[in-house]
Amino acid sequence: MIGNLKPLEIVLILAVILLLFGAKKLPDMARSLGKSARILKSEAKAMKKDDEATTPPDAASATPDQQAPAPRTIKAAPGDVTSARPVNDPTRTTQS
């Protein structure tokens, strides 16, 4: 159905979208759509990585001189620290 669109119909659809949302809103909408796609991609990679992870090492075998790793965070976009959030990873243990 979508493959049957003629060039004139595509131009008409784009003109209607431009009239509805305005020229100022379209770049913001495209930017937020790209940001959402990056978040979805990073979350999918994290889930795939978690599925492929092997069994965690025993906590008793860790030596006391080893430092605990820093908590992992997922960022929405490079440099975007306002939307960074910690990842809950039950396989990692924190030491106080």
Higher pLDDT, 55 or 79: 79
Give the ranges where 1-96 is alpha helix by DSSP (H). Answer: 7-21, 25-52
pLDDT band for 23, please (50, 70, 90 cuts): confident
Q: What does the pLDDT read at residue 39?
A: 94
Spell 44-81 as b/e; 16+ CB within 10 A means b.
eeeeeeeeeeeeeeeeeeeeeeeeeeeeeeeebeeeee
* Chain segment 59-81, per-residue pLDDT in tens: 555 555 566 666 666 656 665 55
Q: Kindly report the pTM of this predicted structure.
A: 0.40
pLDDT band for 32, please (50, 70, 90 cuts): very high
Higher pLDDT, 89 or 9: 9
Q: What does the pLDDT read at residue 55?
A: 45
